[in-house]
Each structure stands twice: as structure tokens, then as C-alpha cells.
Structure 1
């Protein structure tokens, strides 16, 4: 019986060695069970990161030190850092480089610690008189392997002027976008979202087969300063009939959506209160304010949230 048993073992070993490898291209990305938040502090000091395992308690990484300092732009700022990971595991980031720049910043990384050279993407340079390019946001559509970059800009006279407060400096924002597959060539800049009010701070969340766009109503006279949402079956051409505010009786900006178990959380900057808050929903219609249940690093400002593997977190720690 021993020779037969040995032959069986050899056959089993051969079959196992010949079994096709059905693992995904990047198994680490498919086992993302830790949540990260990118953010900046002050006027735009650089990239900071925090992590959470439950979506409620967020702890600063790297002793809350700046992980990447800004090197480009008129003001050399790094505000509103937006990060996504592609199918190959590379992280891509865009950010606001200055208050009155016509371009945005871009860099990439494999581990969120070591970053590529920083580049300027001149997204609004062809629009004469464009005053700014604020809060660029990245969304990666895995269906067609395309990155969407969208941001807020004011082009004087492009839209019916709205009454603005003195502090708004006459800004009347709409959102614009480009697409890319490699961050080397980009589509022509086009209008992304025009809801009939001044709009900034867009963020897209894909849930099942629906894309949700969260935006800030930036109207100032009378003031709105709240977060609203609309949805579509593709990540562009969103309907402009947005929801009622999903945030409360405070000024909010910088929505950062994240799926945590059965909930969709939307984190945001309560910038006049110098606090961070959150709402959550299970049906994308009814929103519960959980600001009192969340905690964040002190001084956190507008960023994004995304899931990573345990290996990425361990590298950062």
C-alpha cells in the first residue's frame, strides 16, 4: 500500500502545482479592511494621514507629522489632498496648490510614504480670466479604468452672477473636469456640474451600480454652506436636482464619503466651528448626524477617505 499512497501524494502535488492562479492582480487591494483619511492643517502645510477601523475613531499616523510637503504652485500650498488607489496598487493624489492658481498638483506613491516628483496639471490655463482651481477631487472608475479629476473654478461672466458677501470676493463657482488613464495625457477641460448655484467641494462615491455626487452649496447671500447629494448611473452628467441639505444647522464643506459596513458615512469640515463632523445613512435618503460620536486629530482640514490593506497601514506605522 505504501507505493500506491506515495503515487497518490505525487499526483495530488502535481495537480496542486498545475492549478491556475486565480488570485487577483493585486490581492492587497482586494483585502482592504483599514480606513485612511488624508487631510491638511493650517493654510495648507502638506499631507497628513489618519486611520480608523470602525469609521468613528480616527487616529493620526506618523505622529501627525507632514508626510509630503508642497513644492509647487504660486503659494506652495497643499490643501484638500484627494487620494485614490488604482487596480495595480498605486496611489494617486491631487491637491489645491494655491488660492489663485489655474492648475492643480499631482503626485503618486506605492506606499503613501515615498512619493513621486510633484507636477502641475494646468487644468484652467486655457480659460482666460479663470480665477482659481479649488479642491480637486479624484475618482477612479474601475469599469473603464479611467480617472476623473474635478474641481471648482470661477470664470467671471460665465454664469449669471449671484449675490455674494464681501468675504466671497465675487466668486461664483462651477465644477469642471478632465479624465485621464495615465496622468500624462488628459482630456479637454469641460464643465462638470452646474446646478444653478455656486458649487465647490465635489466628491463621488460608487455604491453598487449607482454613483453619488456630494457637493457643497457655496451660495453666500443668503448663506447656504451645506452639503447636498445627487446620483446617476455614470460618474458624469449628474442630474442637477440635488437633495435637500444632508448636514445640519452649521456651515459645512469638504464632504468625504466612505462605505463602512452597512453605512455610508460622509465626513466634513465644520470650518466656522473649527470642528469635524459626520452624517451617515443606510438608504442614501435618510441621514443621521453622528458628529458627537466621531473623533479626529486636532486641527484636521478637508481631505478624503479611502480603504487600504493591513500591509499599507503597517508600513505607515
Structure 2
């Protein structure tokens, strides 16, 4: 099951040689920042549910959806709401929602994950982007992680942060998870054997740095790091083409190995690559992705669950 929102970007941000930011208009923009779903049996050819229309009328971006060990489905997603005075006092939020059947959802809370964090000037962060979670079997805790920045734009000098919770009501103080020598967003985490693989987007671009908006990899033997950037031999270490973002990693349903899904946000299309070792990737060319899909996450579901979704949301 692929869960995503839909968008065609209105502009592409660029930075000139003097460091000035400007925007380049893109054609035919659109935004439907609600939950969408698609199904596949091979991980390469995806069929949208509900005619590629939302399956839940709740505003969100970058939805990350997974089932916990307790059987409950959970979503965390980019999206601020709640009381204005709380946002001014505690900073931005992310959405937290739950479901027992993938059809009926409940918005549980808008989480102020960075409320206890300030910069040297005492200011709050400006954003909580693309939150995800990973269940730590060793500690029986959920680790939430996301990107945040204190700058005037979420992509500037961004770092990946994390906190932990056992009950989704109390959370540890947020700490930096990943602080590479570049701005970073869109982290996703997989464990294979004794290694944690942190797939993420390097968010560096402009006349002085060159175009470096692409997917990278970092590894660690500890879920909380430190993570070491994998630079590889090709494409300066990027494991997907430029310009790409919103990575999601899943076991390959057809053979031993992995699939990496990502979107081309400025080109309005999706991409899929495959790997046997999570480090060396080759682009899959025979793929089908619902139009305008952005920043998806992938979950494995049962045949019974798939049949229930088809019944609820049509072909």
C-alpha cells in the first residue's frame, strides 16, 4: 500500500551567485494535501484507490503510515493546526492520527515535538517537516524523527531531529539525530541485520554549490547514531537522480533486495530504483505511479485488508 498526497509545484526555488533566492514559475500547479492510497503486488505498478481522490478528508502533507506492534495503524504527517496561541508558544506541530482498519481515521493530536527547543536567540523552529517513526524493539519505544530549521525557510540549514515515546502521550525532549555537512530533509529509516540505513534528501543547491537536491544514504549500528554518510563511487554518493525527494524504502516483492521510491517534485513524476545491498541502486523503467503523487510511504497489508479497501473506495 502506497500512501501519499498530490501536488504539482507552483515554482522552483533557486539561489543566485550572490545568495539571493528567487522563484521560477512552473506550469499547471495543483495541490490536494489529503490522504491518498494505491495498491500493488509487485511494488512497481500501482493502482490508485478512489480514482486517485482522497480517502480521508483531513489536510496533511508527507503522510507516513505504518502499523505498530500493537496492530494499530498510525499516521504522522506534515501539517500545523490546533490553537493559534499554542503554536505561538510552542512552535509548529505535526499531525498524529490512528486507525484500526485503514478506512476510518481519527486525528488524535497535533504534536509540538520541538516545544522545548530554542536556538541561541531563544527562537523556536519554523517547521516540522516529513515526520516518520520507527519502532525500536530493543527499548520497546517509538522513535519519531523529522526535519526542522531555525531559518526563514524550512530547507535552509535543516537538520534531522528525533524524540521517543512509548504511549504517544509523553515524549522525550527533541535532540539532533543527523547533522551532516549539508542541509537535510525527508529522512526515512530501515534496519537490515545489525545496520540502520538512514535514507534522506540533501537540500543544497544554487549558483555557488551546484545542484545537489537528491537522495543520499547514511548508516549506523545504533538507531540514535552517529550516522556516517555513504559517499559511494558514483554521482557523488547520491543514490537517486537529481532533483528528487520524499524517499521510501521497501523489501522487493519479486526478488531478494529492496526498492527505493521517490518523487521528482519539479518534474511531476515518480521514480523507483532497486538494490540488493541498500547502497548500489539501479533505476527501474517499467513502473506505473498514480498521477501527481508526492512523498509516499509504503506498508505491507494483507489480502483481506486490500479487499476491504477496494470495497470501501472502489476500483
Class of the TM-score when normalised by the shorter of the 2 chains: 0.7 to 0.9
Determine which structure has the larger helix proportion and give its number: 1
> Cα deviations across residues 99-121 of structure 1 (Å, max 9, x unaligned)?
99611100011111111234100
Matches within 5 A, 1:53-202: 53-70=41-58, 77-98=59-80, 102-126=92-116, 127=118, 128-156=123-151, 171-202=156-187
Aligned 8 A contact 2:80 2:95 in 1? no
Cα distance in structure 1, aligned partners of 2:95 and 2:202: 24
Report the equivalent of 1:289.
283
Between 1:94-103 and 1:122-131, the stretch displaced more is 94-103
Provide the TM-score with structure 2 as the length reference.
Answer: 0.79
Could you say what the CA RMSD is over the residues aligned between the two structures, in angstroms? 2.0
Q: What is the number of residues matched between the two proteins?
A: 264
Match of 2:196 among 211, 215, 237: 211
Runs (5+) with no aligned partner, structure 1:
1-35, 71-76, 158-167
Match of 2:246 among 254, 259, 276: 254
Aligned 8 A contact 2:188 2:248 in 1? yes
> Cα deviations across residues 23-78 of structure 1 (Å, max 9, x unaligned)?
xxxxxxxxxxxxx11100133521111111111101112332212222xxxxxx40
Q: What's the CA shift for 1:169? A: 7.7
Report the equivalent of 2:222.
234
Cα distance in structure 1, aligned partners of 2:186 and 2:137: 22
Q: What's the CA shift for 1:209? A: 2.7
- Cα gap change, 1:44/1:187 in structure 2, threshold over 3 Å: closer, same or farther? farther
Report the equivalent of 2:265.
271
> Cα deviations across residues 184-227 of structure 1 (Å, max 9, x unaligned)?
11111111110021000000012233221101000123221010
Runs (5+) with no aligned partner, structure 2:
8-30, 82-86, 232-236, 311-315
Determine which structure has the larger strand proportion and give its number: 2
Report the equivalent of 1:299.
292
Report the equivalent of 2:14.
none
Between 1:97-106 and 1:229-238, the stretch displaced more is 97-106
Cα distance in structure 1, aligned partners of 2:217 and 2:270: 19
Between 1:206-215 and 1:93-102, the stretch displaced more is 93-102
- Cα gap change, 1:284/1:218 in structure 2, threshold over 3 Å: closer, same or farther? same
